[in-house]
Amino acid sequence: MADIPTLETLRTQIERIDDDILDALQRRMALADDVARAKLVTAWPFRDPQREDLLLRKLRGRAAERGLDPHEVERLYRVILDMSVARQQALVTRLDTTPLRVGYLGVEGSYSHLAARQRYGHRPGGVLLTGFDSARQSVEALKQGAQDLLLLPIENTTAGSMNEVYDVLAAGDAVITGEVVSQVDHRLLGLKGAKLEDLREVLSHPQALAQCEDFLRTHVPQARAVLGPDTAVAAQMVADRNDVTVAAIASESAASRFGLVVLASDLQPDADFTRFVEVARQPTPLAPDVPCKTSLLVVLEHRPGALGQVLQRLTQRGVNLSKLESRPIPGAPWKYRFYLDVEGHAASASVTAALDDLRPLTSSLRVLGTYPRAEPIDG
C-alpha cells in the first residue's frame, strides 16, 4: 500500500495551488486595466449583462468537463467579474482626463451601439458607453447626471419614426446637440446548418422586422415574425434556444458575438438609413457658419388651418422644413403636438423671424436644439 501523504504535506500543496490561483487572479486584474483602456479608446461598454451571460455559459460547460460543479464555478466567476468591472471603473477615477459617458439603446452589438462606436470611438480622453433598455430610462440617467450624452435612434427611412424617443424629448429634460445618419445593414442569422425553407420564427426589434418585411414575405413566408427588445438580444435568443428553425435579424457583429452564421444578406432596401440624435442636458454653442438644423416642438391653437398657416409662414421666411411629425398629447384625446426639423440656426435672422411668426399660432413652442446637420454615411 502506497504511503499516504501527511496532512501537513497536503496542506502545503493546497497553499501552493492557492498561491498559483492568486497569481493568476492578479494577472487577470492587471489585464482588466488594459481592457478598460481599450474600451475607453474604442467606445465599448464596461459592463454588458448579455456578454457576461455568454461567458458564464461557456465556463459552466468547461467546469463540467473537468468534473467541477458548474453552479459553484458560476458563482465564483460572478464575483471575479464584479471585481474586474470594479477595477475597470476604478481606473477611470485615476485618469488625467475624464472619459465622456455616453448612453445608447440596447446591448453590445446592437445598431445603436455600433453607431455610438462610430461617432465616439478614438475620442481623446476616451468614452465610457452604457446600454439602456429604453429611451425613457436613458433620459432619466442623463437627468440625474449619470450620463453626459445619449445617442438615440429617432427615425428610419423604411420603418419610420421611433415614437418613444419623440415622447421623451417632449418631457423637456434634454436637448438635441447632434445627429448621426448611419446605413442599416441587416443580416438574417441562425445556427450552423439552418436553412431558409426550414425556418419557423424570425426574431428581431419591431423596426428591423418592418425594414425587412419584403424580404421575409418573399423568402421565408412560412416563418412567423416575433418581436424582441433589440436586434442583438434577438441574436442571443437564437443562440440560447439552439433551434435551427429559429433565426434573428441583426448585425454581422452580433453573429460573431453569439456564434451564429449569416443565412442571408441584403434584407432591406439599398437606401435604408437610420438617423440618431445626440442628446444632452444643455445645448452646445455652434459657430454661425456651420450648416445646421433646428428641431422644434409645437402645440397648435385648436382652430382650422393652423398647421397650414405654420407651413406657409416658414415658406414666407425662406425656412426649409425637412421633417414634420405628429404625436398625441397624453391626457388630451385627439390633440397633437408637432415635431418640426428646419434647416438653419435658431439664432439666425430667418429662423428667428419665422419663430416670431409662429408663436401667435401656437399654445406652446419650444426649441429642442440646434445642431450640425449630418450627411448619410455608411455604417
- Known binding residues: 11, 28, 39, 48, 52, 84, 88
127-132 and 100-105 as β-strands: parallel, antiparallel, unpaired?
parallel
C-alpha separations of 352 from 178, 244, 319, 360 in Å: 20, 58, 10, 14
Following DSSP, what letter does each residue of 301-319 receive, concatenated? -SSTTHHHHHHHHHHHTTP
Q: Which run of H or of E encompasses 156?
A: strand 149-156
For the record, the C-alpha cell of 171 comes out as 418631457
Query: Residue 103: beta bridge partners?
Result: 130, 150
Residue 290 per-residue DSSP state:
S
d(CA 94, CA 36) in angstroms, rounded, equals: 12
Residue 270 per-residue DSSP state:
S
Residue set of the binding site for substrate: 11, 28, 39, 48, 52, 84, 88
Q: What residue type is assigned to position 296 of the chain?
A: L
With 0-12 / 13-18 / 19 or more C-beta atoms within 10 angstroms meaning exposed / middle / buried, residue 213 is middle
Residue 169 per-residue DSSP state:
H
Following DSSP, what letter does each residue of 95-137 receive, concatenated? -SSPPEEEEEES-TTSHHHHHHHHHHTT-TT-EEEEEES-HHH
Strand, helix or coil at 285? coil
Catalytic residues: 274, 276
C-alpha separations of 244 from 61, 161, 196, 264, 327 in Å: 21, 33, 10, 14, 40
Of 197, 205, 101, nearest in space to 148 by CA: 101
